[in-house]
């Protein structure tokens, strides 16, 4: 459904009031811009192993965030703001995927805090790579997580792990996040037990 420029400001003001029907209509209005950006980054996504559905999901998340954070008192059109937010989000996803292919897995910073996986494991009072902590971590890993963990211990690069296990770098990244979270839980449980 198309709207002329006289109706668009009215819809924008209703979006700011979180009217869900209007947000859906606004999505339809912004869809050509979002589709254009998805096509623009499609080639890079393929090159760096980003799944097309992941790219689409990131675009939808950016649209949602843009609509929820849009301030109609600023001198920017909603469609311009949405396009800018979507493009920045897609660029961030592509840049992360590119970095995953180039960096050493154990040294790559997996979170916004800048902590690499090897730094995380080394920061605990005891080593996760041997003894009871290693056994506890290994016992809670899936078989695929264990395969990735063993590759990490050998200091393989993302692209090498992905090729070896026939998976995308994004899947490897997600798996490492899960391993790191499980290691955090084990470390926290141990610290909680020491405090008791």
| Cα separation, 45 vs 39, whole angstroms | 10
| Cα separation, 39 vs 92, whole angstroms | 16
**CB of 92 within 8 A of CB of 54?**
no
Q: What mean pLDDT, rounded, does the chain reach?
A: 76
Q: Which of 102, 97, 149, 147 has its CA nearest to residue 121?
A: 149
Q: What is the pLDDT of residues 62-107, one digit of tens each?
A: 998 988 888 877 888 888 888 999 999 999 998 887 776 654 345 5
Tokens read off for 84: 């800018």
Q: 13 to each of 29, 30, 63, 72, 177, how far by Cα in Å?
A: 15, 15, 16, 7, 40
Q: What is the pLDDT of residues 22-49, one digit of tens each?
A: 778 888 888 899 999 999 999 988 888 8
Is the pLDDT reported for residue 156 higher than 70? yes
The total of other beta-carbon atoms located within 10 Å of residue 196's CB is 4
Architecture of domain 105-195: Orthogonal Bundle (1.10)
Is the pLDDT reported for residue 195 higher than 70? no
Tokens read off for 57: 């999901």
pLDDT of residue 8: 52
Range 161-174 average pLDDT: 88
Lowest mean pLDDT among 65-69, 114-118, 139-143, 181-185: 114-118
């Amino acid at each position: 459904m198309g709207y002329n420029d006289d109706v668009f400001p009215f819809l924008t003001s209703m979006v700011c009031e979180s009217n869900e029907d209007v947000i859906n209509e606004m999505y339809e209005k912004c869809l050509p811009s979002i589709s254009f950006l998805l096509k623009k980054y499609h080639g890079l996504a393929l090159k760096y192993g980003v799944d097309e559905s992941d790219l689409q999901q990131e675009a939808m998340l950016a649209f949602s965030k843009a609509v929820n954070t849009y301030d109609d008192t600023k001198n920017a059109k909603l469609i311009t703001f949405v396009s800018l937010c979507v493009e920045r989000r897609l660029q961030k996803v592509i840049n992360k995927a590119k970095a995953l292919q180039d960096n050493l897995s154990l040294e790559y910073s997996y979170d916004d805090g800048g902590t690499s996986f090897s730094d995380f494991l080394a920061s605990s009072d005891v080593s996760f790579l041997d003894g009871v902590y290693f056994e506890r971590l290994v016992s809670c890993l899936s078989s695929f997580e264990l395969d990735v963990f063993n590759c990490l211990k050998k200091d393989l690069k993302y692209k090498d792990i992905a090729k070896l296990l026939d998976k995308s770098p994004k899947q490897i990244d997600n798996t490492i996040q899960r391993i790191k979270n499980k290691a955090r839980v084990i470390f926290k449980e141990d610290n909680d037990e020491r405090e008791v």
